[in-house]
Amino acid sequence: MTSVPFIRIGIDIGGTFTDLQILNETTGALASLKTPTTPEDPSIGLLTGLQQAGERFGFSLPDIRILLHGTTIATNAVLERKFAAGVLIATAGFEDVLEIGRHNRRDIYAARQKRAEPLIRRDRRLGVVERMRADGTVETPLDLAALDRLAGQIAAAAPASIAVSLLNAYRNDAHEKALAAWLAQRFPEIPVSLSSDISPEIREFERTSTTVLNALLLPVVGNYLDRLTARLAEAGIGARLLLVQSNGGVCSADVAKRQPARLLLSGPSGGALATLRMAQALDRPNLLGVDMGGTSFDVCVVRDGTVTQMTQGEIDELPVRLPMIEIRTIGSGGGSIASIDEAGRLRVGPRSAGSRPGPVCYDRGGTEPTVTDANLVMGRLDPRYFLGGAMKLELDGARSAIETKVGQPLGLSMTAAVDGMMTVTNTSLAAAARLSLFEKGLDPRDFSLVSFGGAGGLHAIPVAEELGISEVVFPADASTFSAYGILHSDIVHDLARSRVMPASAASLPHIATMLAELRAQGEAQLVEDGVPVEARRYAVSADLRYKGQASELVVPWADAEATEEALARVIADFHEGHAQRFSYADENAAVEMVALRLAAVGVLSGGTASAATAPASGTSEAMETRPVLLDGAWSDVAVFRRSALAGEITGPALVEEEYTTILLTAGWACAPGPMGTLIARKN
């Protein structure tokens, strides 16, 4: 009797392609697939990918049991400002916190600072009479009987969602909860976001900004998930749907609908998780992960076997006070458009051709030259074998676009134009990677570079050269590597209690209470997710700073016990971390605790993909040679199929696989490594 397959799929929807990693948990077989993203409704491309995967890899759609989904739906809504109208309710007198913001100068040389417009305009920011003190006691009670005027204002505004951010609600949420109950009774059809639920932490502006973002994303993400679940049901797919969060964990669709702001870095976090798994598998604790897709270039750092988590990030100059994996993103990918700016300089990105129309060579109506067009003209891409031959590339159109839009305006030959496009692109990529290391006081020479994403293989070696990195790892199925990280995600709930107090023995009773509250809340959420006791994990950390500082470091609290010994270890770790990050520490200075955090993890059961082993050593034969532009000159370069590569090869060479191509330049050699990797080293 044939067993029914148990299919688990990780999905990463990017701006250009939708990537799938398919794991048959019954056999351990792992496969990958790419299909064009459908920007008008990403769920269409997702379902198309599932159908293609079933046909290609021999399973039926009802066999899919778990779908782990990374999405840019929330990110794109923020970047494009595609929101329905919302309303913010704040403590009377604090309606303008969202607009006042922080007095930081982003451009220190600009005579006039440009600031993003508030997401909710002034006439839709409403005040309510109440006030909590900083210690959580009530100064001015909330009078529910006096809210008739507020009800009229809300009705006149006709909002699609409401954000509530009251003063010091992170210390005492009683007024926010009471207001939420009143809103549910008066306006039951309008979804509400409370700051005490979304970001219960100190710092009024950041907490309000996060809550407003969450409220405005409620209809966007909710509508998308409704469409997606309807399409899945129509296709007979009853899989458990889990959404990837910015912290690298996944959550249920219900949680994602209530707290969509947690999805803002959903897609890129999968690449960071995959890089972390690679560090563990290859026993290389220091890895620099670079993900170059069609639209963006994402950088993550694995140091000493861990990925850095931030307690606050930013998207399009809007602060987001939520835990997230630290990832640096720039608008530079295969679809990045080359243009000439007002000063006559060549620029590449951040504008992207996306998937529709896409680069000129896709022959879908694109007219702007892109990085992919340049790589094709330089001979680095085979027009017959793009996406394994599923898409033919149009060389003449790419040549014409580059000549018209880049070469002629700058007075450059075709060779000089594409060389210039490549130099500008690789310099931008290396600058982003370098900054990610230098800002942490890290030396690139201590790291190996892990290159993934569909466009990454053609740029990884030049970027490593510029950084001084001597080893580059190319994972198996590199173009869908982020989906691989998503495939192995666990359920994660990040919880916090914010309270400024001395990091001393006198504070231990308060710390013990906060730890107990966090543990109870985390356990309740894992129970709601149906996670069995044996699969529950808890990790505690503390936000610490020297007294008088304005920012904190997050320090792991390994044993999570409110004892003097445990506190002393955490403080010692803080001093050490501060010295590493800022080259300064003062063990005699007073240390403050600003917040306690708990990550409640539900380990998802399931099989593990079969680990690929390195092929036996031998001589690899090139399948052909073709002219490739390298360092301004054309050379005949050997071309290898990755699947047939059995031994070491030396550059210059091209290594092709179904969804990506690797460029090995002179002075580098590469050979198959563990887990199906190719490892390139500088001679």
End-to-end Cα spacing for the chain: 54
Q: Residue 53's pLDDT is what? A: 93
More confident residue, 309 or 143: 143
> What's the rounded mean pLDDT across residues 15-23?
87
Percent of the chain with pLDDT over 90: 63
Q: In whole angstroms, what is the distance from residue 247 CA to residue 249 CA?
A: 6
3-state secondary structure 439-460: CCCCCHHHCEEEEECCCHHHCH
Domain ranges in the chain?
Answer: 7-78+222-263, 81-220, 266-319+443-487, 336-424, 491-602, 624-682
- Neighbouring-strand partners of residue 164: 89, 194
Tens of pLDDT along 514-545? 999 999 999 999 999 999 999 999 999 999 99
- pLDDT for 310 equals 84
The amino acid that residue 215 corresponds to is A
Name the token pair of 92.
């009377």
Tokens standing for 184?
A: 């549910």
The string over 113-128, giving b where at least 16 C-beta atoms fall within 10 Å of a residue's C-beta and e elsewhere, is: eeeeebbbeeebbbbb
pLDDT at 564: 93
Q: Supply the DSSP symbol for 244.
A: E
Fold of 491-602: Dna Ligase; domain 1 (3.30.1490)
CATH classification (class only), 266-319+443-487: alpha beta
Sign of the CA dihedral with 56 first, then 59, 62, and 65 last = negative
Closest by CA position to 252, among listed 19, 486, 68 = 68
β-pair partners for 192: 162
pLDDT digits (tens, 9 = 90+) for 266-325: 767 888 989 999 998 899 999 999 999 887 888 999 998 888 888 888 777 788 888 888
**Is 678 a residue whose pLDDT tops 70?**
yes
Look at strands 448-452 and 287-292 and give their pairing. parallel
* Res 342 pLDDT > 80: yes
Mean pLDDT of the chain, nearest integer: 89
pLDDT at site 606:
57
The span from the CA of 347 to the CA of 565, in Å, is 56
State the average pLDDT over residues 57-83: 87
Q: Does residue 419 surpass a pLDDT of 80?
A: yes
Q: What is the mean pLDDT of residues 418-436?
A: 92
The pLDDT of 380-395, averaged and rounded, is: 86
Dmax over Cα atoms in the chain, in whole Å? 84
Average pLDDT over residues 334-353: 87
* 141 upstream amide cis, omega within 30 of 0: no
The whole-angstrom separation of Cα 116 and Cα 253 is 31
Q: Among residues of the chain, what percentage have pLDDT more than 70?
A: 96
Three-class SS of residue 31? Answer: strand
Amino acid letter, 425: T
Residue pLDDT, tens place only, 167-195: 999 999 999 999 999 999 999 999 999 99
CA distance 388 to 450: 23
Confidence of residue 610 (pLDDT cuts 50, 70, 90): very low
Amino acid at 288: L
Please determine, for residue 102, whether its predicted confidence score (pLDDT) is greater than 70: yes
Q: Residues 20, 22, 24, CA angle at the centre, nearest 5°?
A: 175
Task: Count each helix (H run) and each strand (E run) in the chain, helices first.
Answer: 17, 35
* Strands 471-474 and 448-452, sheet pairing: parallel
Lowest mean pLDDT among 108-112, 338-342, 447-451, 550-554: 108-112
| Alpha carbons 165 and 128: distance in angstroms, whole number | 10
pLDDT in tens, 468-484: 999 999 998 888 898 99
Whether omega for the bond prior to residue 532 falls within 30 degrees of 0, making it cis, is no
CA distance 278 to 474: 10
pLDDT tens column, 452-464: 988 899 999 999 9
Beta strand extents in 587-683 (DSSP E only): 591-602, 624-630, 633-641, 649-650, 653-656, 661-664, 668-672, 678-682
Dist CA 677 CA 460 (whole Å): 14
DSSP 5: P
Token pair 């666990």: residue: 490
Contact between 97 and 90 under an 8 Å Cβ cutoff? The reply is: yes
pLDDT in tens, 637-672: 999 999 888 889 998 999 998 888 999 999 999 999
- Could you report the per-residue pLDDT of 217-234, keeping only the tens digit for each? 999 999 999 999 999 999
Candidate from 89-103, 176-190, 594-608 with smallest mean pLDDT: 594-608
Which candidate, 351, 359, 263, 274, places its Cα nearest to that of 315? 263
Judged against a pLDDT cut of 60, whether residue 348 lies above it is answered with yes
Highest mean pLDDT pick, 205-214, 286-295, 298-307, 378-387: 205-214
What beta strand segments (E) does 100-222 contain? 125-128, 131-132, 138-140, 161-165, 192-194
Select the more confidently predicted residue: 618 or 14: 14
Residue 3 pLDDT class (50, 70, 90 cuts): low
The residue to which tokens 């200075």 are assigned: 589
Q: How far is CA 10 from CA 20, 23, 254, 529, in A?
A: 6, 8, 19, 19
φ/ψ (deg, to 5) at 582:
-120, 5
Distance, in Å, from the CA atom of 328 to the CA atom of 636, rounded to the nearest integer, reads: 36
DSSP code at position 631: T
- CATH of the domain spanning 7-78+222-263: 3.30.420.40
Which tokens sit at 250? 């996944």
Residue 608 CA: distances (Å) to CA of 56, 300, 532: 21, 24, 19
Instruction: Please determine, for residue 389, whether its predicted confidence score (pLDDT) is greater than 80.
Output: no
Q: What angle do CA 92, 106, 547 make, to 5 degrees?
A: 65
Task: Please give the DSSP secondary-structure letter assigned to residue 188.
Answer: T
pLDDT at 578: 92
Residue 297's pLDDT is 85
Q: Do domains 266-319+443-487 and 491-602 have the same CATH topology?
A: no
The pLDDT value recorded for residue 617 is 47
Nearest to 140 by CA among 115, 162, 172, 111: 172
The span from the CA of 309 to the CA of 297, in Å, is 19
Strand order across the beta sheet in which 17-24 lies:
29-36, 17-24, 7-13, 64-70, 240-244, 250-252, 491-502, 591-602, 536-546, 553-557
* Of 93, 218, 78, 220, nearest in space to 162 by CA: 218
